[in-house]
Chain A
Amino acid sequence: MDSEVYIIGRDAVPQFLRLDAGEARSMTLVVPPGTSARLGLEIDLCGPGASLDLAGVYLCNDAERVDLRVLVRHSSGGCTSRQLFKGIVGGTARAAFDGLIYVAQDAQKTQAYQENHTLLLSGTAFAESRPQLEIYADDVQCSHGATTGYLNPDELFYLRSRGIPEAEARRLQMAAFLAPVLSRLPESLTEEIYAGLP
């Protein structure tokens, strides 16, 4: 299934979606460099067998303010949701990801997963991650994970020791970090993003 791609600042992004029984949807949100945005997205899985595959990438290396709020609501049982958000934050940019998975009392056999990983490029950049689970059903599989870190210096030295210049080595590390999300995008957009990496 091809993923629907929404580029923040260029495309209109839905604020509320409902997925009915058996409906499957794959979406990828892209916040390109230079874009400050406040985005709220609520997705309600309200029929059995609905499945959501949601990913996002945000690239802010200057002074951007990015604020993403995602609510995935499992109203019906037997639905699956997967979320993967990755961000690169540098300069004096600030990025916040607020993700809530809500599982209603009747929504048994829910599978809901959420990951948010951020790479900080400078000591003045700021990233916040608030993953939250609110679960009222008892027979569910849910997980969330969040990490924030810097480029790995051992990787960087390894790449440079093979003759790859420092700036290119850093871009390679960033591309590798973003790869799981970028692989969902059309090639032209992926190339645009690669070219815009600091």
Chain B
Amino acid sequence: MNNEVLLEIKGLRAGVEGKEILKGVDLTVRRGEVHAVMGPNGAGKSTLGAVLAGRPSFTVTAGSVTYAGRDLLALSPEERSWAGIFLSFQYPVEIPGVSITNFMKAAVNARRKAAGLPELSPAEYLKLLKEKMALVQMKGEFARREVNVGFSGGEKKRNEIFQMAMLEPTLSILDETDSGLDVDALRIVAEGVNRLRTPDTAALVITHYQRLLDYIVPDVVHVLKEGRIVLTGGRELVDRIENEGYESIHG
């Protein structure tokens, strides 16, 4: 298992409402690796995350994405989740009227059903919930709150990582998880992500700034500009971007 290719993106072109945003992206992620995708605003970073998670408003016009040997683009968003893909949203959605407990119960059990497993008993579910809440330092009343309603920016991002912990994904995509976080929340989020790392799983960390990458150390760094990956390197690229900005980096 270890070190085999988990995600292979080839010549991916995609856009929204007829406007092409990704203009031929190639990217290979192996199990056990953390990749950072960095780039200026408007480079297509969030589009990449959205396309991998199957957001219906985005259209893929060319290229392929193979995930664990399967054609990812042929799968619905829920099938991608069952297959182990998780997107931490840049802007988590508020769902008034739905509690976190009920939301996650539906998600966990749908996934178990897809895997041919029985639903968790209420006691088993509660145990799982408490364990994962502890990981992101969420208190008891958190589970009863409506999903993201009235949450601060930091709480929303911690909620994303909590959901990630509940679903134990194989490929985690973190879309600008550091935006709007203070240092304490950033540390909690990063620790959560790091504790979920295993030799079989991988992460794609999408970010504009180097900040989060001080805590979640990437193995590979890609620079995305104008819809293409213009440079790929090791973690030393992070420092170069920090010092020189994106302007100096060309394909």
> Which residues does A use to contact B, with CB under 8 Å?
152-155, 157-166, 168-169, 172-173, 175-177, 179-180
Residues of chain A within 8 A of B81, CB atoms compared:
160-163
Contact among A154, A157, A175, A176 with B77 in the assembled complex (CB-CB below 8 Å): A157
Sample 30 A-B pairs with CB under 8 A, ordered by A number: A152-B93, A154-B93, A155-B93, A155-B95, A158-B89, A158-B92, A159-B95, A159-B103, A159-B106, A159-B107, A160-B54, A160-B78, A161-B55, A161-B77, A161-B86, A162-B81, A162-B104, A162-B107, A162-B163, A163-B111, A164-B78, A164-B103, A164-B106, A168-B106, A172-B98, A172-B106, A175-B97, A176-B96, A177-B97, A179-B97
Given contacts A176-B95, A176-B96, A176-B98, contact A160 B106 (CB under 8 A): no
Residues of chain B within 8 A of A166, CB atoms compared:
76, 78
Residues of chain A within 8 A of B56, CB atoms compared:
153, 157
Contact indicator A158/B110 (Cβ below 8 Å): no
Contact-residue bracket for chain B: 20 to 34
For residue B166, which residue of chain A has the nearest CB?
Answer: A162
The answer for the CA separation of A155 and B56 in the assembled complex, in Å, is: 12
Contact indicator A160/B96 (Cβ below 8 Å): no
Q: How far is the CB of A23 from chain B (nearest CB, A)?
A: 32
Q: How far is the CB of B150 from chain A (nearest CB, A)?
A: 15
Residues of chain B within 8 A of A164, CB atoms compared:
78, 103, 106-107, 110
The answer for the CA separation of A180 and B96 in the assembled complex, in Å, is: 11
Residues of chain B within 8 A of A162, CB atoms compared:
81, 103-104, 107, 163, 167
Q: Does B82 contact A (CB under 8 A)?
A: yes
> Which residues does B use to contact A, with CB under 8 Å?
53-57, 76-78, 80-82, 86-87, 89, 92-93, 95-98, 102-104, 106-107, 110-111, 114, 163, 167
Contact indicator B87/A161 (Cβ below 8 Å): yes
The answer for the CA separation of A175 and B99 in the assembled complex, in Å, is: 12
For residue B82, which residue of chain A has the nearest CB?
Answer: A163
Given contacts A172-B106, A176-B95, A177-B97, contact A163 B78 (CB under 8 A): yes
From DSSP, what is the main secondary structure of chain A's interface residues?
helix
Q: How far is the CB of B3 from chain A (nearest CB, A)?
A: 27
Contact indicator A163/B96 (Cβ below 8 Å): no
The answer for the CA separation of A177 and B95 in the assembled complex, in Å, is: 10
Residues of chain A within 8 A of B106, CB atoms compared:
159, 164, 168, 172
Given contacts A158-B89, A168-B110, contact A163 B167 (CB under 8 A): yes
Residues of chain A within 8 A of B110, CB atoms compared:
163-165, 168
In the A-B complex, the 5 residue pairs with the smallest Cβ-Cβ separation, listed nearest first, are A176-B97, A163-B81, A160-B77, A162-B107, A158-B93
Which of the listed residues B57, B82, B103 has the most CB atoms from chain A within 10 Å of its own CB?
A: B103
Which of the listed residues A162, A168, A173, A179 has the most CB atoms from chain B within 10 Å of its own CB?
A: A162
Given contacts A164-B78, A176-B98, contact A157 B55 (CB under 8 A): yes
Residues of chain B within 8 A of A153, CB atoms compared:
56-57
Given contacts A163-B110, A166-B78, A176-B95, 15 further A-B pairs with CB under 8 A are: A152-B93, A154-B93, A157-B93, A158-B93, A159-B106, A160-B81, A161-B53, A161-B80, A161-B86, A161-B89, A163-B82, A164-B107, A165-B110, A169-B78, A173-B95
Residues of chain A within 8 A of B102, CB atoms compared:
172
The answer for the CA separation of A168 and B96 in the assembled complex, in Å, is: 16
